[in-house]
Amino acid sequence: MHKVRIVQKVRLAPVRERLRAIEDAGYNTFLLRTRDIFLDMLTDSGTNAMTDRQQAAMLMADDAYAGSESFYRLLDSVREVLGYQYLLPAHQGRAAEHLLAKTFVKPGHVIPMNYHFTTTKAHFNLAGGTVLELYAPEALNTQSSHPFKGNMDLGRLEAAIREAGPANVSFVRMEATTNLIGGQPFSLENLRQVKALIEPLGIFLVVDASLISENAYFIRQREPGYADKSVAQIVREIMDVADLCYLSGRKSCMVRGGLIATNRTDLHDAIRPWLPVYEGFFTYGGMSSKEIEAMAVGIREMTELEVAGSSADAIQYFVNLLLAKDVPVVTPPGGLACHLDAMRFIDHVPQTEYPAAALVAAVYLTSGIRGMERGTMSMDRDSEGNDVPSDLELVRLAVPRRVFTMSHYQYAADRLRWLYEHRKMIGGVEFYEEPPVLRFFAGRMRPKYDWATPLVEAFEKDFGTEM
C-alpha cells in the first residue's frame, strides 16, 4: 500500500503544561499551538500525508497568472475522474460555497440538504437563504448499524419543496459522508431517488464531494450490487447523477485547494463571472500552481481502493478499540473521524454547558490529543441571540490520511478509557468571548467551576508528572 519516508517529530508536553496551554487557548482547541499537541486530530483537512508523486508534481508547477499548464493538467484529471467538462478552481471548499451562494441563493430561498456543514450554512444564510436538513431519523442515532445515515428523507424533501415552491429552492445539496453527524455516507440509490424527484421540477442537484472517495468506498462495501465496482466507477456514477459538484481539496484529494465542476453550461456560465472577483483568474482561482499540480495527481490517486479506504479502515480500527473499552462513540464508523458521543460520555453535563466543548478540552488535558468540538459551540446563535442546541454533541477525533499508525490509536484508546473512568470529574464550560459568526473558531471559554485542576491531579496520581 505505502511506506513512510518522511517523519515529523512530535512532543508530549507534560500535563501541567497542557493545563496552562488550554487555559491560554480559552478552552478552545482551535487556539492551541501545535508545539503543545501530541497527536493532532483536529481535522483531516489539509493535514494528510501526500505522495511522492504529488510532491514531484509540485516541482513541475507552471506559475502563470493566466493560461497555466498546471490548470490544464488539473482539468484533464477532473474530466477523467469526475466526468465533468467545466472546472472552476477556488482556494478552498468554503470559497466554492461562497460562489454558489452568491450565484444561486436569493433572499427567501431554501436549500434542502442531508445535513449542513458549518461553512456551508454560514454562506447560505449570509445570502439570505435557509438551510433545511432533511435526514431520516436514523441519522441522529449515535448507536446505529444503519449503513447510510447520510441519506435524505424523500418524503420530507417532497413536502419541503411543495411548501417553499420549486422556484424558491436554490438547489438540493447532498454532502458526501455528512461531516457533522459522524462522516456518514449516502447511497447511490438514495441519490438517484433525490434526483428523480427534483429534476422534473427544474431543481438541480449539488454534491459536496469533499469526502467523495470515502463515500464511494462505503458504497462499494455497503450497498448491494457495488462490491465488484471500482471506486473510480462509483465516483463517476455519483457525478453522472449530480448536476454539479464542489469540493474542498483538503480531504479526499489530499492537497489544499478547492473546485467547482459541472457539465451544465448554464450553471457554469452563471458562476464564472464571479470567479475572478472573489477568487482569482479562471485558471488558478486562488490556488497556488503547486497545489493545482498536486491536486491533479491527488484526484486520480483518491480513486485507488487502498487510498480511498486509508482513513475509513483506520477509523473502523479506532472505533472498534473504543467500543471494546465501552467508550461511547458514533456507529457505524464513518469517513473522516472517530466521534465521541459527549451526551453519553458525560451525561451529567447539560447541553447549556457545552458538553462537547468540555469533553474535547478534557481529552486534550489527559492525552495531549487535539480533537474538535462538534456540538452546540459549533452552532451560532439565532437572530434573537439564543443558543441553538445542536442535534448531537460530538468530539471529533479526525484521522488524517496515512499520518498515524496503529500504536497512535492504541495510545488514544488507552487514555480515552482512563478519561471515561474519571468522567464524573468533568464539568461544563461557558463563553467569556463570543464572536458573532462561526464562534467555534475564535470563541473563548472557561470551566463553570474549577474541574480541570482536580482532573490533572488525578491524572498525575496514575501517570506521574512527566506524561
Site residues, ligand F0G (CB under 6 A): 43, 45, 92-94, 117, 119, 175, 179, 208, 210, 248, 250, 258
Residues 6+ apart with CB under 8 A from 317: 406, 409
DSSP state of 428: -
Of the two residues 45 and 367, which places its CB atom closer to ligand F0G in the complex?
45
Evaluate the omega torsion of the peptide bond into residue 332 and state whether it is cis, within 30 degrees of 0. Answer: yes
Q: State the nearest-atom distance from the C-beta of 92 to ligand F0G, in Å.
A: 3
Of the two residues 117 and 226, which places its CB atom closer to ligand F0G in the complex?
117
Residue nearest ligand F0G, CB atom distance:
93
Report which of 87, 85, 80, 113 is spatially closest to residue 236, judged by C-alpha positions: 80
DSSP state of 185: P
Of the two residues 257 and 368, which places its CB atom closer to ligand F0G in the complex?
257
CA 257 to CA 289: how far, in whole Å?
10
Of the two residues 25 and 90, which places its CB atom closer to ligand F0G in the complex?
90
Q: State the nearest-atom distance from the C-beta of 45 to ligand F0G, in Å.
A: 4
Q: State the nearest-atom distance from the C-beta of 250 to ligand F0G, in Å.
A: 5
Report which of 369, 389, 386 is spatially closest to residue 378, judged by C-alpha positions: 389
CA angle 431, 45, 335 (to 5 degrees): 100
**Which residues lie across from 88 on neighbouring strands?**
260
Positions marked active-site: 65, 117-118, 208, 251, 374, 440
Report which of 362, 334, 370, 374 is spatially closest to residue 421, judged by C-alpha positions: 362
Q: State the nearest-atom distance from the C-beta of 179 to ligand F0G, in Å.
A: 4
Cross-sheet strand order for the sheet of 394-398: 337-341, 394-398, 372-374
Q: State the nearest-atom distance from the C-beta of 247 to ligand F0G, in Å.
A: 8
Return the H-helix or E-strand segment holding 421. helix 406-421
Of the two residues 77 and 92, which places its CB atom closer to ligand F0G in the complex?
92
